[in-house]
């Protein structure tokens, strides 16, 4: 059964934030235990995650062929941006593509999905609408959207529930 957050897709202006471990940036999340605080610099000796542009990073955080997370990352969820999902490097990630002339996603980051749950709908060049379902259980941890024009290209990354760590984000 899909469990979506109530804010899922209510506003096009509320998008998650992505922080990648070891990335140089002008904004960081400094991780300590189950909490992360925002910082302008990375203190020496602590785990720091640099802010990246959400939705277009893919090769820097996941090996699609091996289905593995290559760098630890945190996705900070809207609308309050006080809750994050931490996925550690080496974790299994199942990539599920949604590609077509138009893609309508029915899930968002933080949603729990089961086998046969709806992820979205795809309109093809022949004007057919296809229903895309998950073939695995887990939590949606990241949604990639290709920045190239043409058909919509999205990849929904689903992680097993046991590898996703929920963290509190402090200002």
List the CATH number of the domain containing 155: 2.40.50.100
Answer yes or no: is pLDDT of 123 > 80. Answer: yes
End-to-end alpha carbon distance in the chain: 33
In a domain, 121, yes or no: yes
3-state secondary structure of 93: coil
- Specify the number of domains making up the chain: 1
Phi, psi of 129 (to 5 degrees): -110, 125
**What domain range includes position 84?**
17-170
Q: What is the dihedral of CA 75, 80, 83, 88, to 10 degrees?
A: 10
Check pLDDT > 70 for residue 9: no
Residue 141, domain member (yes or no): yes
pLDDT confidence of residue 149: 63
Greater confidence (152 vs 150) lies with: 152
The answer to whether position 134 is within a domain reads yes
% of the chain surpassing 90 pLDDT: 74
Question: Does 7 reside within a domain?
Answer: no
Question: Tens digit of pLDDT for each residue in 10-41?
Answer: 677 789 999 999 999 999 999 998 899 999 99
User: Which two three-digit tokens encode residue 126?
Assistant: 């022949």
Mean pLDDT of the chain: 91
């Amino acid at each position: 059964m899909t469990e979506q957050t109530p804010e899922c897709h209510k506003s096009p202006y509320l998008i998650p934030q992505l922080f990648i471990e070891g990335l140089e940036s002008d904004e960081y999340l400094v991780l300590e235990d189950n909490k992360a605080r925002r910082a302008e610099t990375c203190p020496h000796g602590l785990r720091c995650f640099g802010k990246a542009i959400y939705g277009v990073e893919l090769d820097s955080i996941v090996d699609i062929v091996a289905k593995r997370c290559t760098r630890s990352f945190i996705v900070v969820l809207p609308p309050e941006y006080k809750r994050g999902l931490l996925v550690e490097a080496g974790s299994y990630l199942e990539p599920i593509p949604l590609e077509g002339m138009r893609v309508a996603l029915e899930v968002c980051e933080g949603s729990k999905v089961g086998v046969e749950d709806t992820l979205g709908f795809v309109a093809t060049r022949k004007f057919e609408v296809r229903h895309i379902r998950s073939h695995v259980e887990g939590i949606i941890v990241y949604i990639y959207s290709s920045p190239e024009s043409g058909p919509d290209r999205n990849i929904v990354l689903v992680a097993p529930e046991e590898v996703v760590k929920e963290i509190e984000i402090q200002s």
